[in-house]
Structure 1
């Protein structure tokens, strides 16, 4: 995130201020550090440097020289990827306090803050800073005509990342592409990061491309504990909202099962992935700077930079996509179902994650039967100006992918009609409903037949329970626990069959028996007494609303089942 450029500016400043020795080291590989230190030992003519010895011995000679020299020095360790293996090669403190060490890394290990070191987090540009940078960069090339009303959209798409803005500005200048056109190319599904950030546009010395740096860190993380989880975990995070998603997603059964199926681990290693291992995978990715895992961020605790997500998606094999998308769908479903309808903040976060998932997976979301998430998200937009175009688009996609008469399409069209009503467009709403009447009638015809058959089977079940209760009362007695339990079951069957009066009388007898046998405070007695009270209340309510009609629907009875 611009850390290398900041380090380079600091090194140039040190030279300007008269620091006698500045050593720049590519610290992504320990071998490179050792080799550079060995060369530096010869350059400064450190004692014993002229003796024949290996690179490691020469590197130690240089470290000893740094500790004892009276000359001022600065060592820059750029892009440390493994702090633990770097420990033996960390430059020592100077006895004359004239030496300084500056290290850059994407890692967040506690090990980095030991030994008198101070950590400074380098964030992205703010939106204002990004705008200033882009303007100044284009002005210096006399290309301010490329700025347009999509400048803010471009900055947002690139996440205010200095590296990305640098490449984007160079690309726009070289190709004479406006902000609007660049945003269009960036968002186009066929575009790749290499197309947008070619090597020849690297005019400000950033070196590696985003995807290359990502894959280097990811390869190391994949081999760390928990082994084999870094890649599948990052692929899952890459299809969600870069601005963040809840921690609870990683405790879901769907995510655990996904990580278990896609884990690459040693043959003798454990196959099952528990929630704590999924959490460990998040912390691993956090340490490598591949995502941010911050519990204090609440519902957006897990965040992934937009360009990192893009790079991960570009390097995900085609055959891995269905598993990733299915896991995201099922995980979001579990989190959504566990979320209170009054928790607007959490619902808003889930909606943005669903939107991101839909945007980067397209029709695949429908193929894995995840379109129910789109309907859920749409229903939270009821009072939003975005609701109508959302439902129009969702209905069109449903008709295209599922068919005009599919039950889910008819549900989407019903929601579209309701949205028309809310938008004060009743004619459009009635037009949608009227067009669906024939299809709804054909769909409900088999359901009516099934309901009739179900009622006949229900009557048979009541007859069987009545016979069973009669036998048990005669053989076991009226207050035998088995008899009382059967009496309660028959009461429930009566209620579901619409015989509410008979159901209440029978359940009153059963509750009275449970009170005598188990006591009024027993859990069974309390639960059935509450059920009896709810039945009595519902029967009174229906009596007043229907002037005496006491027949309950099977749906109402089902809601009362304990």
Structure 2
């Protein structure tokens, strides 16, 4: 039975609706009483072809074509079967309908499906669609066959017949259509249906001719005998009892997932072949379930009435020939003598090419498409098809009209469903816990791995969490986590052998002898994939050129061929369309390979991999975000697989990449791990540790943890001077980072003194164009700005922008930062138009280069809003800041100082817009946040209190404003000095407030 061919028949007669089955592109079999009621033919017939659970449903108009309505109304005791004709054909999959005639005394299992669920449209509550049970061939029912139901609907509370709508449903036994459901039986509590016999219709005038002529291609007009044990050819035939099954079809695994999408893809590929057989090559690596899927296809084929199934192991041609010869003998084919297996096999192929019998040949585990080329079966009648499984990704397998269906791993949902069903089957469902998803991911969603893991969990009574700990332990080898004792499905191969089964064939085909080291390198990287360009990088080519015994220059073309060879044998996946993850390897395959790498060779391999990753790393990460993310995950994998004992510059490049992407929390966590690892591996005084601690401190600063950053950097600078010397480049870089952090903490004098000395030392030791010199000058400009030395700051910042554009390029992140700082200086200097134009360009470039959520982009947006506010464009400033505040809360967190500053800026802009109450509410929270996060001696707190005092004054709360401003003046005098411009401004503000308090103005008088 094919669900695509189910039909819901709806009419305008009193019975209203019924079921049917598509027996030809435009021909539907149904019950007569569905279209003829109370002596009146239905005038309007609609057919909905298909089932909503199995693809699309197509609506067609229809009319009765048998019995012929023009011949009048049949006798009341006539056969309750009819055929209706659709106005347009409907395309479906599968072969012709085969008819059956039940015989014997045994109970014959039947299946079918009707549409009582659709009776809900008319108020009927029935919900059962499946027809399933046993048919008694000795029935004495006047209605035909008696169908005892294993499942039946509950009687409707409103008295309606619960099977209503099932009339006309086709009934199948062993894939043969034997009757049409026509009547239920209330006396049996609805557990019995009756069916009109199809063989009587075939004996009626015109019916057989019509279905033969208008049915699906190959439809015959003679029924086959069906018994409890199977079906046989029509009387007089010399063919054997059907179905004929040759070979050992594997038993379906426990809790096997249906993989419906793959099954549908196979059916679509099969249907697309028309009258020529289509062979699907189910390719995939070890353990993805190719053979199990093929076995499931066999089960489906037999249920749909396939006559011949041949299951042939296909690793060698002789295995196929042997099974073909055996099939020829079992089919009693003329010319099959049993003396010459190859001749008998050719006899079978010739017979399969012309027979109208439905057949399926499975070639399991094809290893060599060349030697097997002469043994692919072909059906010229369109009634047969062949199915092959293979690990190969070889174009020769898709010749001759064959279509490849790629078989991959389970989906995450299928993996968890498998674990749940497998454990439940053994009444051990309690072993499934909240780590099931993580366990499935660790096993790479590989069906074989999941099967072995579940069996081992059952054997040892391990929960998912306990098993995952075992699996992830470095002390556990793959053979211990997935032992042979867990082979509950009789796979018969050790897990490592199963995963690497095709490697021997690779080595035989590998003329370069480089496939082995290439596979080992891939196994050290991220299973999710790495760039193809990695393999053509000079460090990798150099490594392969000196790999023994291949001591000559290796080309990128040769390595490409090696990758294609590994891909062809399904040990890796190589697909440049998937860049930057063009080369992938399954996690379990990679683990099996890594466990074979000698400890003495691991360091050399890992260094080569690290060299290759570093070589292809883009200079500016934000311009290639997907590539940078891929390289980071591959660096992480490489570090993990070397137990974090590999030190290489690529490790620092990966950490810097996180910061460049604006992923400050992730970068902080990364450098914390690096510091811990370096301390354990290299010791407290190693330069590697100093570098990692300096990077961690920068992340602290970027994350708003300024005091922690200063403390850590002061230690790093002292240790660098002690261990490396004051003139070492790393020492200079650490001093630059410390000075920058002093600026963030408003320790202006400390920063200025440190930077003035640093600029001189850096230019003297490294040259004026060195990156460290460039950064030092830019930071010194910031120090001058913070220290109100505007002229010095402006000249130095303009030089920094020009140098950055010349040395790094106009779109380098450092150049954007320098231009952003210059715009702020222009704003302070009263050059508003220049500042605004520069900031708008910086924001546009930042969004393009870094993305809309990068912290530097958010800073550029906030600075532009500040310029809009100062230029009187208040609403535009509010619009921008109302974007910046939630974006910073989401990206940086609500307690990051930049987030707090953005809220303060928004509050000040509300004040300018006359939204004083909103401004006060927001500024009160900003002041509290600054006191909590920064302490009482931070300049940003002074600014926040100053703004709040202004809002209090604007709202008429003069006493509050005066108290707060006096506090601001005291703090400013203490921190900045009595002659600082900001201190003088607060004193002037206090004077105005006191005058307002003494002289309230004309209204008060």
TM-score, with structure 1 as normaliser? 0.73
Q: Identify the residue that residue 695 of structure 2 maps to in structure 1.
A: 415
1:163 aligns with 2:163: no
1:202 aligns with 2:487: yes
> Secondary structure of the residue that 2:388 maps to in structure 1?
strand
Q: Identify the residue that residue 298 of structure 1 maps to in structure 2.
A: 579
Segment drifting more, 115-124 vs 68-77:
68-77
Q: Identify the residue that residue 673 of structure 2 maps to in structure 1.
A: 393
Structure 1 residues 339 and 121 mapped into 2: Cα distance closer, same or farther (>3 Å)? farther
Gaps in structure 2 of 5+ consecutive residues: 1-287, 732-762, 769-773, 785-790, 808-1005
1:142 aligns with 2:427: yes
Structure 1 residues 397 and 62 mapped into 2: Cα distance closer, same or farther (>3 Å)? same
Partner Cα distance (1:227, 1:383) in 2 = 43
Partner Cα distance (1:183, 1:115) in 2 = 46
Structure 1 residues 207 and 256 mapped into 2: Cα distance closer, same or farther (>3 Å)? same
1:244 aligns with 2:524: no
Partner Cα distance (1:31, 1:276) in 2 = 36
Q: Please, which of 593, 603, 615 is the counterpart of residue 312 of structure 1?
A: 593
Partner Cα distance (2:291, 2:374) in 1 = 23
Q: Please, which of 566, 590, 612 is the counterpart of residue 285 of structure 1?
A: 566
Q: 2:631 touches 2:654 (CA, 8 Å); kept in 1?
A: no
Partner Cα distance (1:547, 1:288) in 2 = 64
Structure 1 residues 429 and 39 mapped into 2: Cα distance closer, same or farther (>3 Å)? same
Q: How far off its partner does 1:355 sit? A: 0.7
Q: Identify the residue that residue 383 of structure 1 maps to in structure 2.
A: 663
Segment drifting more, 401-410 vs 44-53:
44-53
> Secondary structure of the residue that 2:405 maps to in structure 1?
coil
Gaps in structure 1 of 5+ consecutive residues: 452-495, 504-533
Structure 1 residues 34 and 255 mapped into 2: Cα distance closer, same or farther (>3 Å)? farther
The answer to which structure, 1 or 2, has the higher relative contact order (CA under 8 A, 6+ apart) is 1
Partner Cα distance (1:64, 1:228) in 2 = 43
Q: 1:258 touches 1:323 (CA, 8 Å); kept in 2?
A: no
Q: Please, which of 546, 550, 557 is the counterpart of residue 276 of structure 1?
A: 557
Q: Identify the residue that residue 431 of structure 1 maps to in structure 2.
A: 711
Partner Cα distance (2:599, 2:320) in 1 = 38
- Structure showing greater Rg: 2
Segment drifting more, 389-398 vs 18-27:
18-27
Larger % of helix: which? Answer: 1
Partner Cα distance (2:547, 2:312) in 1 = 37
Q: Please, which of 70, 76, 81 is the counterpart of residue 362 of structure 2?
A: 76
Q: How far off its partner does 1:22 sit? A: 1.8
Partner Cα distance (1:296, 1:336) in 2 = 19
Partner Cα distance (1:318, 1:32) in 2 = 41
> Secondary structure of the residue that 1:243 maps to in structure 2?
coil
Q: How far off its partner does 1:8 sit? A: 0.8
Q: How far off its partner does 1:15 sit? A: 3.0
Q: Aligned runs of 1:541-552 on 2, under 5 Å?
A: 545=792
Q: Identify the residue that residue 63 of structure 1 maps to in structure 2.
A: 349
RMSD between superposed Cα atoms in Å = 3.6
Structure 1 residues 3 and 435 mapped into 2: Cα distance closer, same or farther (>3 Å)? same
Partner Cα distance (1:30, 1:260) in 2 = 38
Q: 2:471 touches 2:481 (CA, 8 Å); kept in 1?
A: yes
Paired positions, count? 466
Segment drifting more, 42-51 vs 128-137:
42-51
Q: How far off its partner does 1:245 sit? A: 1.0
Partner Cα distance (2:343, 2:587) in 1 = 44
Q: How far off its partner does 1:209 sit? A: 4.4
Q: 2:329 touches 2:338 (CA, 8 Å); kept in 1?
A: no
Deviations 1:54-96 (A, max 9, x none): x5555445434443556543211112222222212222x1344
Segment drifting more, 99-108 vs 14-23:
14-23
1:442 aligns with 2:722: yes
Partner Cα distance (2:646, 2:694) in 1 = 21
Partner Cα distance (1:29, 1:545) in 2 = 83
Q: 2:645 touches 2:681 (CA, 8 Å); kept in 1?
A: no
Q: 1:354 touches 1:373 (CA, 8 Å); kept in 2?
A: no
Q: How far off its partner does 1:315 sit? A: 2.2
Q: Identify the residue that residue 684 of structure 2 maps to in structure 1.
A: 404
Q: 1:256 touches 1:275 (CA, 8 Å); kept in 2?
A: yes
Q: Please, which of 86, 89, 99 is the counterpart of residue 375 of structure 2?
A: 89
Q: 1:218 touches 1:230 (CA, 8 Å); kept in 2?
A: no
Partner Cα distance (2:331, 2:289) in 1 = 30
Q: Please, which of 417, 425, 429 is the counterpart of residue 132 of structure 1?
A: 417
Q: 2:470 touches 2:476 (CA, 8 Å); kept in 1?
A: yes
Q: How far off its partner does 1:25 sit? A: 1.9
> Secondary structure of the residue that 1:300 maps to in structure 2?
coil
Deviations 1:438-482 (A, max 9, x none): 422223437479x9xxxxxxxxxxxxxxxxxxxxxxxxxxxxxxx
